[in-house]
Structure 1
Amino acid sequence: MAKANEKLNRIHIALLIYMIELDVTVFALPRLVAKNIGTNGWVGLLALTCVACFNIWLFQIVYRMGKGQSFFQIVEAVVPKWCAYPFYLVLTVFWIAIGSFIGKDFILIFQTLTFQSSSSMMIFSLYCLMVYVLLVKDIYSILKAVTLFFLMTASVNLLAPFFFQDWKLIRFTTSLFQGTEGGHTLHGWTEVYTVFVGYELCLFLFPYVDKKSKLFQGMYTGQLLIGLVQQLAVWVSFGFFSFPELKVLAYPVIHTLEYIEFPFINRVENLVFPFFLFSNLVSTVLFAFAGLSCLKQMFPQARPKLLELFIVIAIFGLGYIPKLLREAEALVFHSFFVEIGVAFVLPLLLMVLLQIGKLRKKGVKA
């Protein structure tokens, strides 16, 4: 158990941001960049990283304006509970659904690689069991597990030098943002931006930090760290495959792993791919944690572990919706599109509520 005065530190927060964003979307990232941004799309990806940092800055403004108040304190200081609770419920259902779709999408990809004859829901049930084991822990214990998972997942980046023999800089070409499918559109760039979804959950870390925690320093560090890994994935794929190939390969990151050969391992991708289980597990757990925070606010007297059990059962039940890989992928991207809107609207909404609360206090004093 965590000590009462224990607070999160910026290193744990940075690793958390890294792990949340390293979900199933990273497998398709080079294809998304090639299809929607075009040649030398890494430049556009860098610009989108700056957009993500801007969004984090909006949350930083909320934290400063609210002087560290939690999401619920800010909302309920202005909005009556009978109006706030339905809002919490909608967010809860949505975030639980996102966590479920992320997990099911990963399991379906994993199944196609290793367990073609096994039931996807049977494998998903084991995934949900791991979610429950983490979800019943406090946030401090979850972050300790995240640190361990990070060390295991980050080791995959050490495989990058194995691609140098077949990697060609000339494949990048000298053109910029050319060869997209259907030109440059907001929808296309937003599709690439889905790889950044997850940092907005920092909103629920406000009660667990203080000034010494340096929450946002950790968030910016984590965002830049995952940005470097995303750039590495794009650079390796753009120099390894031709541009036309990138636009048709479903998961370029997985396909690159298939080319690695060791004398003592037959299929390296089967050994490496399970490491991504941990990052997707963290994504599901943190979306579930956000939903759990909302439920605990609505049902503070609920029995211990009952809400956690309810959430995991809901995650498993929602896993029945996508039966095919393309269905799961579509649900993930559609959900992420909405979540991007939530990530930008929430801090703006909270700023408005904080300003209203400030004006009310001035009116009372007057």
Structure 2
Amino acid sequence: MQEKLHPFQITVLIYMIQSGVTIFSLPRITADAFGTNGWIGILIVSLYSMINILFIAMVFHYGDGRSIFKIFEDMLPKILLRPFFLCLALLWCILGILIGKDFALLFQMLYLPDLSPSVYILIMLIFVFMLVSKGIYQIGKTTIIFFFMTIWTIFLMLYFISEFEFDRLTPFIFKGDKQLFTQGLEVINAFLGYEIVILMFPYIAKSKSSIKAFFYGNLITTFIIYLPLCFICFGVLSFDQLKNETFPVLTLFEYFQFPFIERIESFVFSLFSLKVLITVVMFYWASDEVFRYAVPKIKSSKISILILIMISFLISLIPDYLLDVEAWLNWLGRAEAVIALGLPLSLLFILAITKIKRKRKMS
């Protein structure tokens, strides 16, 4: 009997993929996007993500847990599907490596000026190859360990309760200068990653617990991570100060003083590399799944991953600077947002058409 992912593993995987490097600048992004009390915008974007996840859950339910490849094949020939999935494989592996490069460049800029981003990425890719080649079950087990190693850091924000003032929130909601479209898309990008669960269907037991796990991951990201973090930042820093801080979360951590750790913010940032690694691993895992479907001659997962790593690494050399990498991530994130919504809707449409055809044949 094939091993299935536990619902808790699914929940943690979704949470770990969603919350990326953007978390350190998210309060500023929400302030730029929504204006005063922009932290409320987190709830709006989270609701949008929940609707997308609902579509994915419907595909899982009405598709009887079948893989998306089999569902697509009910209507479309493989010759049309393979180019699409090849493009999807490239999108996901490039997204994965650029997320890693973004973190490496930030680490270099903030704490380790002597760090070579290319060396960091190569070391990261070794771990990516090792984990992805082991399969989704081993990734799920590793993710649980990394989850417990990192989740405790959110409770450090309790330190600022004494500094929190409701006056700084202001009585105004969504007032002031706003960049709703550009910065709002960045907030949406901060929630992306849940869509990868659509490739996990064959590895998930068809049960209510599994379906609920899809939603729990997004709820953890929203109500345990993003919302409290942004709310505290808005209440500790003034609105104008928040908009002028590139990484307001790291700015707050700079106020921590412990006798055994000189700079807690650098420690937290270093620990965050584990979350980044899981995010990169999952994007490569998804890329590997669709790449082997698009190129059926490649049956070995190890060969597939090596090809994807080489292609994505060469492409990652094009953007040199942090601003360039973030610009690439913004554009790729927009493409990913379209995929996150369009893919499950397309599958639901195919399932509906297939069901109508079957009823007609039976009648």
Shorter-normalised TM range: over 0.9
Q: Deviations over 1:17-63 (max 9, x none)?
A: 11001111111110111011111112221121111111100111112
> In the alignment, which residue of structure 2 is the partner of 1:269?
265
CA distance in 2, matches of 1:38, 1:146: 35
Deviations 1:100-142 (A, max 9, x none): 1111101111111222023211111111112112111111110
Aligned pair partner of 1:243 in 239, 246, 251: 239
Match of 1:89 among 79, 86, 98: 86
Q: Which residue is 1:191 aligned to?
A: 186
Given the alignment of the two structures, is residue 233 of structure 1 paired with residue 229 of structure 2, yes or no? yes
Residue 194 and residue 320 in structure 1: after superposition, are their counterparts in 2 closer, same or farther (change >3 A)?
Answer: same
Tell me which of 147, 159, 164 is aligned to 1:162. 159
Is 1:136 equivalent to 2:133 in the alignment? yes
Q: Secondary structure at the match of 2:244?
A: coil
Q: Residue 162 of structure 1: CA displacement?
A: 2.0
The one of 267, 292, 295 aligned to 1:296: 292
Q: Which residue of 2 aligns with 1:57?
A: 54
Q: Which residue of 2 aligns with 1:214?
A: 209
The more displaced of 107-116 and 71-80 is 107-116
Cα distance change of structure 1 residues 61 and 38 upon mapping to structure 2, 3 Å threshold: same
Q: Please say if 1:287 is aligned against 2:283.
A: yes
How far 1:300 moved relative to its partner?
Answer: 5.8
User: Shift of the alpha carbon at 1:365?
Assistant: 4.2
1:100–1:318 CA contact under 8 A, matched in 2: no
What is the alpha-carbon distance in structure 2 between the residues aligned to residue 47 and residue 302 of structure 1?
42
- Cα shift at 1:197: 0.4
Structure 2 residue identity aligned to 1:16: L
Residues 359 and 230 of structure 1: is their aligned pair in 2 closer, same or farther, counting only changes over 3 Å? same
Separation of aligned partners in 2, 1:333 and 1:39: 23
Alignment match, 1:76:
73
CA distance in 1, matches of 2:353, 2:141: 38
SS in 2 for 1:136: helix
Q: Deviations over 1:321-360 (max 9, x none)?
A: 2211111111112111111111111111111222232333
The TM-score, its normalising length taken from structure 1, stands at 0.94
TM-score of the pair, normalised by structure 2: 0.95
Amino acid at match of 1:315: S
Cα displacement string for residues 186-213 of structure 1 (whole angstroms, at most 9, x for unaligned residues) = 4442222111000011101100112347
RMSD of Structure 2 on Structure 1 (CA): 1.7
Q: How far apart are the structure 1 equivalents of 2:298 and 2:259? A: 58
Report what 1:39 is aligned to.
36
Instruction: Please report how far the alpha carbon of residue 364 of structure 1 lies from its aligned counterpart in structure 2 after TM superposition.
Output: 4.3
State which drifts further: 36-45 or 186-195. 186-195
CA drift of 1:169 comes to 2.2
- 1:323 equivalent in alignment to 2:320: yes
Contiguous gaps of at least 5 residues in structure 1: none
Q: Which amino acid aligns with 1:17?
A: I
Is the contact made by 2:96 and 2:283 (CA closer than 8 Å) also made in structure 1? yes
1:304 CA displacement: 4.7
Q: Is the 8 A contact 2:6 2:204 kept in 1?
A: yes
Q: Which amino acid aligns with 1:242?
A: S
Comparing 115-124 with 15-24, which one deviates more in the overlay?
Answer: 115-124
Aligned residue for 2:235, secondary structure, equals helix
**1:40/1:72 CA distance change after superposition, 3 Å:** same
1:150: how far off?
0.5
- Pick from 176, 181, 204: which aligns with 2:199? 204
Q: Which amino acid aligns with 1:25?
A: T
Structure-1 separation of matches of 2:15 and 2:301: 30
Moved more, 130-139 or 210-219: 210-219
Unaligned regions of 5+ residues in structure 2, if any?
none
Identity %: 33
Question: By how many angstroms is 1:314 displaced?
Answer: 2.6
Aligned to 1:335: 332
Q: Classify the secondary structure of the residue corresponding to 1:247.
A: helix
Deviation at 1:153, TM superposition (A): 1.2
Alpha-carbon deviations, 1:181-240, whole Å to 9, x = none?
Answer: 35xx34442222111000011101100112347222111111111102101210221122
AA at the equivalent of 1:284: V
CA distance in 1, matches of 2:275, 2:70: 30
